[in-house]
Amino acid sequence: MNARIISINISDKKGMRKKPVDEVVLKENYGIEGDAHASEKWHRQVSLLALESIKKMQDMGLKVGPGDFAENITTEGTELFTLPVGTKMTIGADIELEVSQIGKLCHSRCAIYEQAGDCVMPREGIFVKVLKGGSIKAGDEITIGVG
């Protein structure tokens, strides 16, 4: 099962929409260099959301796109939220990630929820740990393995 990266998004502060960048470095057991959510101290090092999920919100009339849900990596080609915790994925030739959490609890209603009465990130966003790092960019292929 293959997917690809549509957008890579980072922010220097938590709780903000992320801005797209051309390329980033994933650090082993840390996350994305320069992103506010990267940390060795927890399992949610990198967040992913599928373009297919974003389109659900666009279909509700919202003008949203990659990064607006504070996801680090926007993908296309697979329903990420159906992957079980422990699923391994490879980006490019040798970058390895492992699904560590599906969805999240939102402690406060985000601007998207306030506008639409719903938000897909808490249900359909996933989080991964970086097992083997390296550089990634939009267009890179993601290969989904088994846990």
Q: What is the mean pLDDT of residues 54-82?
A: 88
Give 16-39 pLDDT, tens digit per residue. Answer: 778 999 999 999 999 999 998 888
Q: Where are the domains of the chain?
A: 2-11+15-144
Give 117-135 pLDDT, tens digit per residue. Answer: 555 666 788 999 999 999 9
Q: How far apart are CA 33 and CA 107, in angstroms?
A: 26
pLDDT of residue 121: 64
Q: What is the mean pLDDT of residues 80-85?
A: 93
- Burial class of residue 106 in the structure, from the number of CB atoms within 10 Å of its CB (0-12 exposed, 13-18 middle, 19+ buried): exposed
pLDDT-derived band at 116 (thresholds 50, 70, 90) equals: very low
Cα-based torsion angle of the residue sequence 54, 60, 65, 67 in order, rounded to the nearest 10 degrees: -60
Residue type for position 143 = T
Q: What is the mean pLDDT of residues 8-16?
A: 83
H helix runs in 23-105, sequence order: 51-58
pLDDT of residue 63: 84
pLDDT-wise least confident of 1-15, 21-35, 71-85: 1-15
Please report where in the chains the tokens 């599906």 appear, as a residue. Answer: 102
Q: How far is CA 5 from CA 48, 111, 142, 143, in A?
A: 10, 25, 7, 11
Fold classified for 2-11+15-144: M1 Pyruvate Kinase; Domain 3 (2.40.33)
Percent of the chain with pLDDT over 70: 84
Residue type for position 5 = I
pLDDT-derived band at 51 (thresholds 50, 70, 90) equals: very high
